[in-house]
């Protein structure tokens, strides 16, 4: 049986980035032999394609930022967390930083407190800050429990503890945002400790100043700073869009590979606009800090995280130096 399989179909090579991918051409195999043999053998092709990536990334750190409305969708959330658990079991070191905007808004609505935004930033008074921390803690607990249920070890890490995310008050002319902060530094000690034990750190993006005052910080910014300080192999933004599009609302215009200089050019031209600007800049800052590659992927694509990382074509946008 082994010889028969080895002699069926030829090998071919594909390449994405610097990793050479060994694949098999199974076109000569019968498509329906009554036992599903061809379908089973094609699964081996998938494993062969992933093998060189698994070899290259084993022991490397990936920082993954996951947020948005998809956090509240059990089916989409499970698919993302299955990918995170797979990375962990495969010997890769994933770090998950999560948002929680919809949950925060729900907490505020229950208390009749309207949400206010200035330049896309949530105005955060003391009451709002308490609700932010409470909502994010609930999201964190749920994510940790679900990762553990998938066979991987995980532990929540509040960003305000042990100086994990250091922050200071963020100011803009003519407005007081309250306890909104900008990230000024990261202490990777707590994260490194969990990674060394094979545990997935799940980080709450709330920072603290030197006086221990908590600040609501942008989760993309916090994840980017963490990835840079860890010198992560990859920084991945799991978003609600396919990636960088040259024509808005046209998935066929997706750019699969973009350099930093090209990304800055697209921002200046207005091709990258709105909420994609801070996400793109978070990727750029991570690269400047030493991260090797950054990725944007669409959470709506089932197991998009694995497809982007372990296939030669990928499904989102990778941004490189």
3-state SS track over 5-26: HHHCCEEEEEEECCEEEEEEEC
- The answer to whether residues 201 and 243 touch, using CB atoms and an 8 Å cutoff, is no
Handedness of CA 320, 225, 249, 317 (dihedral sign): positive
Stated length of the chain: 321
pLDDT, averaged across the chain:
87
Structure confidence at residue 36 (pLDDT): 66
Q: Which residue has the higher pLDDT, 21 or 215?
A: 215
Mean pLDDT value of segment 93-114: 90
Q: CATH top-level class for 59-320?
A: alpha beta
The reported pTM is 0.86
Mean pLDDT value of segment 206-213: 95
Measure the CA–CA gap between 145 and 236, rounded to whole angstroms.
22
Residue for token pair 């599009």? 245
CB atoms within 10 A of CB 96: 28
pLDDT tens readout for residues 45-57: 878 888 899 999 9
Structure confidence at residue 20 (pLDDT): 52
* Domain chopping of the chain, boundaries: 1-57, 59-320
Cα distances from 151 to residues 50, 63, 80, 154, 200, in angstroms, run 21, 20, 14, 10, 11
């Amino acid at each position: 049986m082994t010889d028969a399989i080895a002699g069926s179909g030829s090998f071919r090579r594909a390449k994405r980035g610097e990793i050479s991918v060994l694949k098999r051409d199974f076109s000569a195999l019968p498509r329906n032999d009554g036992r599903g043999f061809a379908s089973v053998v094609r699964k081996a092709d998938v494993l062969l394609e992933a093998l060189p990536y698994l070899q290259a990334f084993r022991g490397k750190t990936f920082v993954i930022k996951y947020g948005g409305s998809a956090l509240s969708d059990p089916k989409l959330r499970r698919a993302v967390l299955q990918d995170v658990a797979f990375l962990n079991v495969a010997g890769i070191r994933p770090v998950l930083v999560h948002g929680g905007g919809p949950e925060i808004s729900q907490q505020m609505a229950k208390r009749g407190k309207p949400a206010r935004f200035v330049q896309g930033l949530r105005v955060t008074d003391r009451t709002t800050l308490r609700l932010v921390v409470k909502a994010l803690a609930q999201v964190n607990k749920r994510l940790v429990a679900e990762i553990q249920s998938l066979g991987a070890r995980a532990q929540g890490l509040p960003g305000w503890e042990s100086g994990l995310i250091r922050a200071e008050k963020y100011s803009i002319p003519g407005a007081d945002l309250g306890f909104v902060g900008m990230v000024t530094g990261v202490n990777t000690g707590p994260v490194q400790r969990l990674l060394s034990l094979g545990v997935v750190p799940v980080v709450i993006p709330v920072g603290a100043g030197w006086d221990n005052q908590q600040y609501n910080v942008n989760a993309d910014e916090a994840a980017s700073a963490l990835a840079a300080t860890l010198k992560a192999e990859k920084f991945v933004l799991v978003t609600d869009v396919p990636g960088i599009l040259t024509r808005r609302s046209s998935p066929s215009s997706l750019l699969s590979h973009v350099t930093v200089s090209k990304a800055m050019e697209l921002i200046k031209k207005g091709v990258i606009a709105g909420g994609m600007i801070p996400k793109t800049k978070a990727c750029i800052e991570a690269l400047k800090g030493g991260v090797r590659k950054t990725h944007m992927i669409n959470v709506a694509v089932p197991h998009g995280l694995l497809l982007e990382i372990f296939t030669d074509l990928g499904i989102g946008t990778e941004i490189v130096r």
